Amino acid sequence: MMKEQVEKALKKIRPALQRDGGDVELVEVGEDGVVKVKLTGACGGCPMSTITLKQGIERVLKQEIDAIKEVVAV
């Protein structure tokens, strides 16, 4: 169930990432509230990817889903 919620929230974020030539791929949603994602395209090697991950993706997921504790890139 939580995986579907994460996918739905990521759909809201994707257009902004894709405008910059990147994207995000869901790898795993742990029962401990840790979401693992893979930044792809331009986001994969961007020096700003940590900021995108924490202040963008993680912030939105935490707002949308109370059970999310952290988002990490793999």
Q: What is the CATH code for 2-73?
A: 3.30.300.130
Amino acid, single-letter form, for residue 10: L
3-class state of residue 45 by DSSP: helix
pLDDT at 43: 85
Residue 19 CB neighbours (<10 A) = 8
Report pLDDT digits (tens) over 8-59: 999 999 999 999 899 999 999 999 999 999 999 988 888 888 889 999 999 9
| Predicted TM-score of the model (pTM) | 0.91
Work out whether strand 22-29 and strand 34-41 pair parallel, antiparallel, or are unpaired.
antiparallel
Enumerate the domain spans of the chain: 2-73
Residue 27 CB neighbours (<10 A) = 12
